[in-house]
């Protein structure tokens, strides 16, 4: 029986239970980054809010794309994942405010995507599938049994990345 | 949380309760003028809501909602957002356009303009009340209307506000006209330095 594990804002979750689906609901500018080690059926999903963790800040690391990715990867490694086997998928990073006067200062979605790209690049990890950017929110599901990632947005059918 | 920050929060809360009540009532007056009929607003409830609970209060992060977003600039800075579940937004439009509930089925450009105007008036009248209480003047940006999943709409507030604050302020009000009513949640997220200025002046 399928079990939904909700990954809240600024949180991450790791699971090896094939019945579980890790879900980040209603991502706007946030990004959802999923990592999967097929050999041990280990899946992890991060729901990050902002791009770069401020130096010296005591703020929760999993809220940020750069530190969140590293936290998730460390947690996956502790549970036996091998970085060379990790498959990465990501979604989100929409720019929600496209009204005149807002666009310049509110491109957090784009900055989140860029932070994810550069962090993954520095860790020598490539992205197997993604649906990022745009102007609409998304719900992301990451299946522990096979590492599939699906996306749903309002007015559209669920699709795989 | 330290005692001083608790006290700070309590002071801020009571200050905002006063301003919110005044501001929302003022906004109702403005809206009545706009629609040419008496529109009233219930005494708003003011709550501090943990960031994580926001979307659950509005039907879950995946529920479709309408957000009317304004940035506040001037002597005080911050963000304001009026958030209503999608069906309620349609009712608000019905209420504002003086048509029977259920008439508005989709949000086209006219309906969005009506909601923008609602945001504009609510924001302006609220800020007038803030100015009357604190002597600090500010103005709202033109409002942006968003129709999307509630979680995605709320990301805007969370991503652009002070990430250290774990709670946001919510005003809950009910708009009424001829015995009909529509609920609206109104979020106020002052910038950190604004909060400090406001409390200092009290």
Residue pLDDT, tens place only, B20-77: 777 777 777 777 777 677 777 777 777 777 767 777 777 888 999 999 998 888 887 8
* Higher pLDDT, residue B145 or B58: B145
Residues of A in Cβ contact (< 8 Å) with B156: 28-29, 96-97, 106
Backbone angles phi, psi at A64, to 5 degrees: -105, 145
Crossing angle of helices A108-122 and A65-78, in 10° steps, is: 40
B66 to chain A, closest Cα gap in Å: 12
Proportion of chain B above pLDDT 90, given as a percent: 12
- Neighbouring residues of B142: CB distance < 8 A, sequence distance ≥ 6: A99, A100, A101, B70, B116, B120
CA dihedral (A98, B95, A26, B72) positive or negative: positive
Residues of A in Cβ contact (< 8 Å) with B153: 28, 96, 137
Supply the pTM of this predicted model. 0.85
A104 confidence band (pLDDT: 50, 70, 90): low
Q: Does the pLDDT at position A37 exceed 90? A: yes
Among candidates B181, B165, B183, which has minimal Cα distance to B45? B183
Query: What ipTM is given for this predicted complex?
Result: 0.87
- Neighbouring residues of B159: CB distance < 8 A, sequence distance ≥ 6: A28, A29, A30, A49, A50, A108
Q: Residue A91 belongs to a domain with what CATH number? A: 3.30.1330.200
Structural domain that includes position A15: 3-160
Tens digit of each residue's pLDDT (9 = 90 or more) over B163-174: 445 667 777 777
Nearest Cβ partner for B156 among A9, A28, A153: A28
Structure tokens given for B127? 């800020």
Taking CA–CA distances from A51, the nearest residue in chain B reads B159
- Neighbouring residues of B176: CB distance < 8 A, sequence distance ≥ 6: B39, B40, B41, B42
Nearest Cβ partner for A137 among B151, B163, B164: B151
Residues of A in Cβ contact (< 8 Å) with B146: 96-97
Structure tokens given for A115? 């932070």
For chain A, how many structural domains are there in total?
Answer: 1
H/E stretch holding B127 reads helix B109-134
3-state secondary structure of B125: helix
Q: Under a CB-based contact definition with an 8 Å cutoff, are residues B83 and A26 in contact? A: no
Crossing angle of helices B3-35 and B192-201, in 10° steps, is: 90
How many whole angstroms separate alpha carbon A64 and alpha carbon B164?
Answer: 13
Catalytic residue among A21, A30, A49, A144: A30
Q: Under a CB-based contact definition with an 8 Å cutoff, are residues A44 and A97 in contact? A: no
Nearest Cβ partner for B149 among A29, A50, A154: A154
* Higher pLDDT, residue B78 or A43: A43
Among candidates B106, B139, B144, which has minimal Cα distance to A95? B144
Tens digit of each residue's pLDDT (9 = 90 or more) over B109-134: 999 998 988 888 878 887 888 788 77
A2 as an active site residue: the answer is no
Chain B residues touching chain A at CB-CB below 8 Å: 51-52, 55, 60-62, 64, 69, 71, 141-142, 144-156, 158-160, 163-164
* Higher pLDDT, residue B26 or A131: A131
CA dihedral (B47, B48, B52, B54) positive or negative: positive
Structure tokens given for A94? 């929409």
Task: Quickly count: other Cβ atoms within 10 Å of residue A58's Cβ.
Answer: 7
- 8 Å CB contact of A139 and B62: yes
- 8 Å CB contact of A28 and B151: yes
């Amino acid at each position: 029986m399928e079990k939904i594990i909700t990954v809240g804002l600024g949180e991450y979750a790791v699971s090896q239970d094939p019945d579980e689906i890790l879900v980040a609901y209603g991502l706007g500018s946030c990004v959802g980054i999923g990592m999967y080690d097929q050999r041990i059926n280990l899946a992890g999903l991060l729901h990050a809010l902002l791009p770069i963790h401020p130096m010296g800040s005591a703020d929760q690391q999993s809220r940020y794309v750069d530190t969140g990715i590293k936290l998730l990867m460390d947690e996956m490694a502790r549970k036996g994942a091998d970085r060379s086997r990790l498959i990465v998928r990501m979604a989100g990073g929409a720019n929600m405010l496209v009204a005149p006067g807002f666009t310049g200062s509110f491109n957090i979605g784009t900055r989140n995507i860029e932070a994810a790209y550069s962090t993954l690049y520095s860790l020598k990890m490539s992205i197997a599938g993604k649906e990022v950017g745009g102007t609409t929110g998304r719900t992301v599901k990451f299946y522990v049994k096979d590492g599939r990632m699906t996306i749903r947005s309002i007015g559209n059918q669920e699709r795989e990345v | 949380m330290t005692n001083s920050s608790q006290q700070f929060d309590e002071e801020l809360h009571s200050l905002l309760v006063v301003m919110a009540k005044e501001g929302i009532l003022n906004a109702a007056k403005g809206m009545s003028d706009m629609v040419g009929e008496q529109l009233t607003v219930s005494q708003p409830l003011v709550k501090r809501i943990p960031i994580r609970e926001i979307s659950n209060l509005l039907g879950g992060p995946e529920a479709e909602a309408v957000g009317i977003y304004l940035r506040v600039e001037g002597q005080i800075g911050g963000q304001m957002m009026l958030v209503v579940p999608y069906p309620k937004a349609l009712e608000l439009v019905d209420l504002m356009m003086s048509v029977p509930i259920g008439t508005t089925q989709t949000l086209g450009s006219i309906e969005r303009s009506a909601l923008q105007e609602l945001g504009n008036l609510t924001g302006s009248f609220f800020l007038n009340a803030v100015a009357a209480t604190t002597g600090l003047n500010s103005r709202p940006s033109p409002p942006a209307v968003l129709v999307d999943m509630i979680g995605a709409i709320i990301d805007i507030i969370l991503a652009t506000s002070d990430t250290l604050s774990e709670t946001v302020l919510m005003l809950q009000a009910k708009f009424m006209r001829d015995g009909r009513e529509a609920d609206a949640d109104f979020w106020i997220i002052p910038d950190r330095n604004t909060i400090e200025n406001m409390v200092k002046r009290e």
